[in-house]
């Protein structure tokens, strides 16, 4: 046997199932922003793949979140719970991590997806208090929930997967009908997540913890309903090579991939899911 044959397997398909590497059987995961359109979709995808999942979102959404968690659990037969948490609060995040660990025994996967954008998120108009709140949730909260989940993975002596949610707006400037560019602080926080992801990936690689981010483009997750009029929808679609919005299901598949062993040699990368927007 050659030296490299002990290190690297070839023709694995002869012995193993490639599709099985996309499964999450026995894994324990949490998803912040779990009551939102994208969060719910990711939770359902993870549960279908065999993971126990905690939907993490604000206390104000608890009744709704618990009903979604029950629906997912009933459908896929995995343990699915709702954990209230303000991702802008360090104490809340610590308590959430403790609850998830107590309920599931450990944490294998963290999806740090909570975030929001102000409708008046403009360079010349955004008040400082709004800047600070958006940074505390979108960037600092993402950092803390990723870091605390990684601490659990280290303490429990196993690796894991961390997937952070960035955005197309971390790479491009948003404009609508040639008005003043929007998504100012939102874009800054989402760009910061990409760099943070790379640094975490480098720091935690020795612990077998992979850290990646996903940057959704225009995805119809429910937040656009009642906000984007038909002409605005068309205007946005015209800027995408695929000429449409993406679906939450299309995004959830990307999260499942990066959370699973199918992506076992991928860390420190950002996956664009934008319909080709940035090719222009």
Task: Check residue 181 and give its pLDDT.
Answer: 77
Domain spans, the chain: 20-274
Q: In the chain, what are the helix, strand and coil shares in percent, each to the nearest 5? A: 50, 15, 35
Q: 259 near 53, Cβ under 8 Å? A: no
Task: Check residue 177 and give its pLDDT.
Answer: 54
Q: Which of 186, 213, 260, 277 is catalytic?
A: 186
Q: 156 near 106, Cβ under 8 Å? A: yes
pTM metric for this prediction: 0.95
Task: Check residue 4 and give its pLDDT.
Answer: 87
Task: Check residue 176 and give its pLDDT.
Answer: 63
How many whole angstroms separate alpha carbon 4 and alpha carbon 272? 34
Mean predicted confidence (pLDDT) in 160-180? 86
Under the banding of pLDDT at 50, 70 and 90, the label for residue 193 is very high
130 sits in which H/E element = helix 128-134
Task: Check residue 174 and give its pLDDT.
Answer: 79
Task: Check residue 175 and give its pLDDT.
Answer: 72
Task: Check residue 250 and give its pLDDT.
Answer: 97
Known catalytic residue at 166: no
Mean predicted confidence (pLDDT) in 125-151? 97
Under the banding of pLDDT at 50, 70 and 90, the label for residue 224 is confident
Q: Which of 28, 190, 260, 277 is catalytic?
A: 190
Task: Check residue 167 and give its pLDDT.
Answer: 96
Please name which of 163, 193, 30 lies closest in space to residue 96, comparing C-alpha atoms: 30
- CATH architecture of the domain 20-274 equals 3-Layer(aba) Sandwich (3.40)
Mean predicted confidence (pLDDT) in 267-271? 98
Res 96 pLDDT > 60: yes
Give, in order, the Cα–Cα distances in Å from 162 to each of 192, 201, 257: 16, 9, 12
Known catalytic residue at 253: no
pLDDT digits (tens, 9 = 90+) for 48-94: 999 999 999 999 999 999 999 999 999 999 999 999 999 999 999 99
Q: Which of 166, 167, 221, 260 is catalytic?
A: 167
Known catalytic residue at 190: yes
| CB atoms closer than 10 angstroms to residue 237 | 14
Q: Which residue has the higher pLDDT, 2 or 57?
A: 57
Please name which of 208, 199, 198 lies closest in space to residue 268, comparing C-alpha atoms: 198
Please name which of 213, 210, 199, 193 lies closest in space to residue 271, comparing C-alpha atoms: 213
Q: Which residue has the higher pLDDT, 126 or 178?
A: 126
Mean pLDDT of the chain: 94
How many whole angstroms separate alpha carbon 203 and alpha carbon 205? 6
DSSP state of 52: E
pLDDT digits (tens, 9 = 90+) for 22-31: 999 999 999 9
């Amino acid at each position: 046997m050659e030296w490299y044959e002990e290190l690297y397997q070839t023709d694995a398909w002869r012995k193993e199932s490639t599709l099985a590497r996309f499964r999450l059987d026995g894994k324990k995961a949490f998803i912040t922003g779990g009551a939102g359109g994208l969060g719910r979709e990711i939770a359902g995808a993870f549960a279908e793949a065999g993971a126990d999942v905690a939907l993490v979102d604000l206390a104000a959404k608890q009744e709704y979140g618990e009903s979604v968690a029950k629906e997912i659990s009933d459908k896929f037969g995995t343990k699915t719970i709702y954990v209230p948490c303000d991702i802008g609060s360090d104490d809340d995040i610590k308590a959430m991590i403790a609850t998830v660990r107590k309920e599931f025994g450990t944490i294998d996967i963290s999806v740090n997806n909570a975030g929001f954008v102000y409708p008046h998120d403009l360079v010349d108009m955004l008040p400082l208090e709004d800047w600070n709140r958006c940074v505390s949730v979108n960037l600092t909260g993402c950092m803390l929930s990723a870091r605390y989940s990684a601490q659990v993975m280290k303490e429990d002596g196993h690796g894991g997967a961390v997937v952070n949610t960035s955005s197309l707006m971390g790479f491009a400037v948003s404009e609508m009908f040639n008005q003043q560019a929007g998504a100012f602080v939102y874009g800054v926080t989402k760009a910061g997540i990409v760099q943070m992801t790379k640094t975490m990936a480098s720091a935690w690689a020795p612990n077998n913890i992979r850290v990646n981010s996903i940057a959704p483009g225009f995805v119809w997750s429910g937040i656009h309903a009642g906000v984007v009029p038909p002409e605005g929808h068309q205007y946005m679609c015209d800027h995408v090579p695929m000429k449409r919005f993406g679906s939450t299901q299309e995004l959830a598949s990307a999260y499942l991939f990066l959370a699973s062993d199918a992506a076992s040699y991928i860390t420190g990368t950002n996956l664009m899911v934008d319909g080709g927007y940035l090719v222009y």
